[in-house]
Structure 1
Amino acid sequence: MVVDDHPLLREGIAAVLGTQPDMLLQAEAEEGGEAVALYRLHRPDVVLMDLQMPGMDGITAIGAIRAQDPSARIVVLTTYRGDVQALQALRAGAQGYLLKSMLRRELVDTIRAVHAGGRRVPHEVADALAAHVGEDSLSMREIEVLREVADGNANKRVARCLGISEETVKAHMKSIMSKLDANDRTHAVTIAIKRGIIQL
Structure 2
Amino acid sequence: MSASTSLKLRLPTFVLVLEVVMIALYGIFVTYDDNSNAKLQNNETDPMENSMYRDYPYFADIQVMIFLGFGCLLAFFRFYGFSGMVFNFLTATLAIQWAILIQGYFQFYSDGKIHLGLINLINAEFACAVVLISFGAVLGKTGPVQLLVMALLEIPIFAVTEWAVLKYLRINDAGGSILIHLFASYFGLGVTFVL
Kindly indicate which of the two structures has a greater share of residues assigned to helix.
2
With the length of structure 2 as denominator, give the TM-score of the two structures: 0.26
Specify the structure having the higher radius of gyration (Cα). Answer: 1
With the length of structure 1 as denominator, give the TM-score of the two structures: 0.25
